[in-house]
């Protein structure tokens, strides 16, 4: 019985018709291609993009230089130097993230006891010459200042799962 | 012996032991904070609660005596519940600021909370805050709120350091650890409180916020300071020494180190470090290559040795040098044909040279000090010169030993002293003769040579004390060894020791006081004889080789030493620091301090302790043994082809056991033992604890402590009245050619007719010898 069905399918071009039907279905269906950069895909509030350092509302930097992120970083991308500031608090004098090394695992963000180092939704960045993607403390703080509103909103959205 | 069962394991332990001891023996860990094996038991933290069968409530393991047949459970439901409860209580007032705490990562509270605590706290009310107090330059108490009141620091002060400088004030929630009002913690062992603190309440001030514990690599080393040779863990980050901690060695330093050992590392990174070889050309210092500097030195030494004679070349080395450095230095000098080499810079009496049966040493293992029942300590600023040996004497006294002191000052040793004879330096020999005579009478021994002395009451009391003991020791301190009659003191002390069956020994002044003799860095004994340290500066030589010596601070007579340096044609200073040598030297060769070189120290009990470099040398500095090796090769001396410092050490020590080379016997005849009535004030010179060597002199935090203040002239109150001055006034102190102005202080610990003027400090560096007549006038 099967032999007979196959025999008819071969000269009636059944596979071709079936294939064309699929093509036709997609031809008339709604398109899902995202026209980047005009269009963008939606992002999770847990998106792990470019790093930023945050400040408190009074302008004080959050980072206390505990070096947990440096210790946890699996790619050894973070370098921190710490000293006592004039007011006696523990502060970083150097906080560098080498984005060439970074694997965006988010461990630094996870380990931070004061939510100072965070990964933002920002993923569109580039470097033109060697060293461009070596982010220093002022660059990270500037990122934080620029995106603070979004960062705070994302932390708030994630808070209930922690 | 009794049997006790812990977690099903049977342990046999001595009567009187605690459950904690038994658990240690069985290898079972019981969490604890206030318990420390070297301190008394407080049982205040309650962390070590365990379940004991048939006891209605959990019991603290540290304070519960083990009883025969006792069954203990450390992980039963009751014990775990008790431990969790205690942990929750301890954390109620603990700030949980681990991310900014220097103790974070090496904190007992953190570890125990992780291991034994509940996952969350139920406490949400306000936590208490303890305001910080300034207790000195070494210990930071900025975060006293972290304190859990274990009182380890308090007990350390009372029991080990001998002075209670911290205490607990107030009660309950208001209880806090504090020092006496407006006073700092000045103990020379205070740094150990930082190690003892199980939380981050007492932390190291110099180390504050500079590194986290997990970033540091730990390298073994040996202390280059006093004669004890404490075992150190040098902690390093990015080729920089960040801090120094003790390594436990029960036979040497137990689990303690002195502040000098702990904080001197700051001097390693001092701005004064010499990092490039320098040559003086036309009166100006220029940095040169090693090759140029070494060739210049070799040529200069060769010219002087050939032209003016080899005995015109002299070498002085600090006793803080390693065995390898001292050995190569003497080999180099003897290769040149000169025997002028010495490391005993502060010694003034060399009449025992060549008459010693071996290298002078402690005469017994360091640990045996604890078991002595009678001690006679002659001429020693014990607490400041040997902080940890003093601690051992303190333990011996606590266990019933009688300490007898013969000295020129009555410094507080922070322990009960049975008898003491405090006399002017010139009378020390006489006092020992008196003791010998009295002891000979007690023991029916020979009083030959001392028959004519009149025994005073103090000497009689000391003799009586010594005669009644079974395990006595007679020890000569730094002051006695630097004394102009050092040989006579040693002969008398040896005879006293022989009469009462005591151990007789010398307390080693510096890290290599014994090693220097073993290395042959002395003018006698070797193939070529020469001059000793005092002769070398008394009759100036044409060329000097200085191995880490600062003559104005390290020599017995700085005036004479400096005159000799200025008069010399050539002075080669091998030094880790740029110091006053820039005034008189012609070449400065940067050498590496102890953390940057491999080497060996032989401590005062003859223990050979080798160590490796912890970091690479700063700048172009090189280990001194390598510099001396190259100099030897350039001077065509034979036998300078060493591959390693170990090869040098093996050659220096030979294949013989070191023990066989140690002998305190002196073949010196006893001379006149009458007290010398000296004219005028006699100088009593101590070397302040933080002025002993180049490294501590540049350790910034130690220099801010109470022990490092500018020395003042200390005299008996009656001497001040004679002068018509009061404590605090400035006086003019004259000795030899120079005079300095210093503050004066009345203190009745000084015998009349003496003035204590410290040596080894820049403020007194212009003065003359450490002993002798000194003039004090109104300024």
CB-closest option in A71, A83, A88 to B142: A88
Report chain B's C-alpha Rg in angstroms.
28
Distance spanning both ends of chain A, measured CA to CA: 62
- Cis? peptide before A37, omega within 30° of 0: yes
Q: What ipTM does this complex have?
A: 0.84
Alpha helices for B724-769 (secondary structure H): none
A110 touches B at CB < 8 Å: no
Q: Is the dihedral of CA B620, B623, B626, B630 positive or negative?
A: positive
pLDDT at B93: 92
- Do residue A71 and residue B208 have CB atoms under 8 angstroms apart? no
Give tens-digit pLDDT for B383-415. 999 999 999 999 999 999 999 999 999 999 999
pLDDT at B121: 85
* Distance (Å, whole) CA B78 – CA B459: 62
Residues 13-72 of A with CB under 8 A from B: 64-68, 71
- With CA atoms as reference, report the closest residue to B210 among A107, A23, A92: A92
B115 within 8 A of B83, measured Cβ to Cβ: no
Question: Which residues of chain A neighbour B103 with C-beta distances below 8 Å?
Answer: none
B43 within 8 A of B33, measured Cβ to Cβ: no
* Distance (Å, whole) CA B629 – CA B627: 5
Question: Which residues of chain A neighbour B99 with C-beta distances below 8 Å?
Answer: 64, 66, 68, 113-114
Which SS3 state, helix, strand or coil, does residue B487 take?
helix
CB-closest option in B99, B208, B210 to A66: B99
* Distance (Å, whole) CA B538 – CA B553: 16
- Do residue B214 and residue A71 have CB atoms under 8 angstroms apart? yes
pLDDT at A1: 84
Contacts of B539 (CB under 8 A, 6+ apart): B531
CB-closest option in B99, B212, B215 to A64: B99
pTM of the model: 0.92
Task: Enter the tokens of residue B89.
Answer: 């209580």
A114 touches B at CB < 8 Å: yes
CA closest to B96 among chain A residues: A113
Contacts of A128 (CB under 8 A, 6+ apart): none
Question: Which residues of chain A neighbour B210 with C-beta distances below 8 Å?
Answer: 82-83
Burial group, residue B25, by CB count within 10 angstroms (0-12, 13-18, 19+): middle
CB-closest option in A64, A71, A83 to B100: A64
- Do residue A114 and residue B104 have CB atoms under 8 angstroms apart? no
pLDDT at B761: 94
Question: Which residues of chain A neighbour B214 with C-beta distances below 8 Å?
Answer: 71
Contacts of B762 (CB under 8 A, 6+ apart): B552, B553
Report the DSSP beta bridge partners of residue B590. Answer: B575
B242 within 8 A of B216, measured Cβ to Cβ: yes
B582 within 8 A of B285, measured Cβ to Cβ: yes
Give tens-digit pLDDT for B481-527. 999 999 999 999 999 999 999 999 999 999 999 999 999 999 997 77
Task: Looking at the complex, report in whole angstroms how far the Cα of residue A83 sits from the nearest Cα belonging to chain B.
Answer: 6
pLDDT at A113: 94
What is the per-residue burial (b if ≥16 Cβ within 10 Å, else e) of B662-700? Answer: bebebebebeebebeebeebbbbbbbbbbbbbbbbbbbe
DSSP state of B577: B
Give tens-digit pLDDT for B30-40. 999 999 999 99
* Distance (Å, whole) CA A148 – CA A123: 16
CA closest to B214 among chain A residues: A71
Question: Which residues of chain B neighbour A89 with C-beta distances below 8 Å?
Answer: 100
Residues of chain B with pLDDT under 50: none
Helices (H) and strands (E) in chain B — how many of each? 23, 32
- Do residue A65 and residue B210 have CB atoms under 8 angstroms apart? no
Question: Which residues of chain A neighbour B208 with C-beta distances below 8 Å?
Answer: 84
Find which of B103, B209, B237, B238 to mutate to test the A interface (most A CBs within 10 Å of its CB): B209
- Do residue A65 and residue B100 have CB atoms under 8 angstroms apart? yes
State how far the alpha carbon of B560 is from the alpha carbons of B356, B570, B765, B777, in Å: 27, 17, 11, 23
Q: Which long-range contacts (CB under 8 A, 24 or more apart) does B591-594 make?
A: B591/B547, B591/B548, B591/B621, B591/B622, B591/B623, B591/B624, B591/B627, B592/B617, B592/B618, B592/B621, B592/B622, B592/B623, B592/B624, B593/B224, B593/B267, B593/B268, B593/B695, B594/B221, B594/B222, B594/B224, B594/B322, B594/B695
Question: Which residues of chain B neighbour A67 with C-beta distances below 8 Å?
Answer: 212, 215
Task: Looking at the complex, report in whole angstroms how far the Cα of residue B180 sits from the nearest Cα belonging to chain A.
Answer: 24
CB-closest option in A84, A88, A113 to B99: A113
pLDDT at A135: 96
Task: Looking at the complex, report in whole angstroms how far the Cα of residue B99 sits from the nearest Cα belonging to chain A.
Answer: 5
Task: Enter the tokens of residue B183.
Answer: 């006073």
- Do residue A82 and residue B209 have CB atoms under 8 angstroms apart? yes
Residue B560 parent element (H or E): helix B558-567
- With CA atoms as reference, report the closest residue to B79 among B114, B53, B45: B53
- With CA atoms as reference, report the closest residue to B392 among B410, B375, B409: B375
pLDDT at B736: 87
Task: Enter the tokens of residue B717.
Answer: 């109150």
Which SS3 state, helix, strand or coil, does residue B506 take?
strand
């Amino acid at each position: 019985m099967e032999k007979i069905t196959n025999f008819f399918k071969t000269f009636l071009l059944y596979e071709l018709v079936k294939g064309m039907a699929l093509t036709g279905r997609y031809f008339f269906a709604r398109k899902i291609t995202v026209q980047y950069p005009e269009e963008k895909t939606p992002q999770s509030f847990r998106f792990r993009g470019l790093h930023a350092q945050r400040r408190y509302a009074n302008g004080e930097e959050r980072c206390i230089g505990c070096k947990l992120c440096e210790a946890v970083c699996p790619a050894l991308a973070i370098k921190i130097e710490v000293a006592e500031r004039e007011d006696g608090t523990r502060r970083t004098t150097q906080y560098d993230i080498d984005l060439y090394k970074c694997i965006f695992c988010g461990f630094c963000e996870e380990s931070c006891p004061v939510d100072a180092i965070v990964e933002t939704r920002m993923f569109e960045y580039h470097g033109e010459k060697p060293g461009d993607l070596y982010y220093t403390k002022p660059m990270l703080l500037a990122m934080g200042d620029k995106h603070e509103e979004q960062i705070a909103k994302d932390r708030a959205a994630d808070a209930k799962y922690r | 012996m009794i049997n006790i069962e812990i977690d099903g394991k049977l342990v046999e332990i001595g009567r009187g032991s605690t459950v904690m001891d038994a658990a240690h023996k069985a290898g079972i860990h019981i969490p604890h904070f206030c318990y420390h094996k070297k301190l008394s038991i407080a049982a205040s933290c309650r962390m070590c609660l365990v379940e004991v069968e048939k006891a209605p409530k959990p019991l603290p393991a540290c304070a519960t005596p083990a009883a025969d047949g006792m069954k203990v459970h450390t992980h039963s439901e009751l014990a775990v519940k008790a431990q969790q409860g205690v942990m929750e209580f301890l954390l109620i007032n603990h700030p949980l600021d681990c991310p900014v705490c220097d103790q974070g990562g090496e904190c007992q509270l953190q570890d125990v909370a992780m291991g034994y605590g509940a996952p969350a706290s139920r406490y949400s009310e306000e936590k208490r805050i303890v305001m910080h107090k300034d207790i000195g330059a070494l210990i930071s108490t900025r975060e006293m709120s972290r304190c859990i009141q274990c009182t380890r620091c308090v007990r350390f002060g009372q029991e080990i350091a001998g002075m209670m400088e911290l205490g607990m004030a107030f009660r309950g929630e208001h209880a806090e650890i504090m020092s006496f009002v407006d006073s700092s913690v000045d103990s020379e062992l205070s740094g150990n409180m930082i190690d003892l603190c199980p939380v981050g309440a007492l932390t190291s001030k110099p180390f504050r916020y500079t590194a986290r514990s997990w970033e540091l690599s730990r390298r073994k080393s040996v202390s280059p300071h006093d004669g004890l040779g404490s075992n150190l863990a040098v902690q390093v980050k990015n080729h920089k020494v960040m801090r120094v901690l003790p390594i436990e060695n029960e036979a040497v330093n137990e689990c303690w180190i002195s502040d000098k050992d702990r904080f001197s590392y700051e001097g390693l990174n001092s701005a004064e470090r010499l990092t490039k070889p320098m040559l003086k050309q036309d009166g100006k210092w220029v940095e040169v290559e090693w090759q140029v500097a070494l060739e210049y030195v070799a040529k200069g030494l060769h010219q002087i040795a050939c032209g003016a004679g080899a005995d015109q070349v002299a070498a002085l080395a600090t006793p803080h040098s390693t065995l390898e450095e001292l050995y190569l230095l003497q080999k180099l000098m003897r290769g040149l044909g000169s025997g002028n080499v010495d490391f005993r810079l502060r010694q003034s009496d060399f009449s025992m040279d060549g008459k010693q049966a071996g290298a002078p040493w402690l005469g017994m293992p360091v640990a045996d000090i604890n078991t002595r029942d009678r001690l006679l300590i002659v001429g020693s600023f014990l607490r400041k010169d040997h902080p940890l040996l003093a601690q051992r004497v303190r333990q011996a006294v606590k266990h019933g030993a009688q300490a007898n002191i013969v000295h020129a000052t009555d410094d507080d040793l922070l322990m009960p002293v049975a008898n003491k004879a405090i006399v002017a330096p010139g009378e020390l020999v006489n006092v020992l003769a008196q003791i010998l005579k009295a002891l000979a009478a007690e023991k029916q021994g020979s009083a030959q040579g001392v028959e004519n002395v009149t025994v005073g009451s103090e000497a009689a009391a000391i003799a009586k004390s010594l005669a009644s003991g079974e395990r006595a020791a007679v020890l000569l301190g730094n002051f006695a060894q630097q004394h102009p009659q050092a040989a006579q003191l040693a002969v008398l002390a040896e005879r006293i020791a022989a009469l009462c069956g005591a151990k007789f020994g010398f307390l080693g002044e510096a890290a290599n006081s014994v090693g220097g003799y073993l290395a042959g860095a002395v003018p006698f004994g070797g193939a070529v004889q020469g001059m000793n340290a005092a002769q070398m500066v008394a009759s100036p030589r044409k060329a000097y080789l200085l191995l880490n010596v600062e003559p104005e601070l390290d020599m017995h007579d700085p005036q004479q030493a400096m005159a000799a340096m200025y008069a010399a044609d050539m002075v080669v200073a091998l030094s880790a620091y740029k110091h006053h040598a820039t005034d008189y030297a012609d070449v400065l060769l940067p050498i590496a301090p102890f953390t940057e070189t491999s080497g060996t120290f032989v401590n005062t009990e003859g223990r050979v302790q080798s160590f490796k470099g912890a970091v690479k040398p700063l700048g172009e500095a090189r280990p001194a043994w390598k510099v001396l090796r190259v100099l030897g090769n350039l001077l065509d001396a034979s036998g300078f082809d060493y591959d390693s410092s170990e090869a040098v050490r093996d050659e220096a020590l030979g294949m013989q056991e070191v023990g066989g080379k140690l002998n305190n016997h002196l073949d010196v005849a006893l001379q006149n033992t009458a007290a010398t009535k000296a004219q005028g004030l006699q100088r009593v010179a101590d070397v302040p604890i933080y002025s002993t060597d180049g490294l501590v002199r540049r350790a910034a935090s130690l220099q801010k402590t109470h022990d490092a203040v500018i020395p003042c002239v200390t005299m008996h109150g009656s001497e001040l009245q004679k002068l018509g001055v009061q404590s605090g006034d400035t006086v003019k102190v004259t000795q030899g050619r120079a005079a300095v102005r210093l503050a004066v202080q009345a203190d009745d610990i000084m015998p009349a007719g003496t003035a204590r003027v410290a040596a080894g400090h820049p403020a007194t560096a212009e003065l003359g010898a450490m002993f002798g007549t000194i003039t004090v006038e109104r300024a």
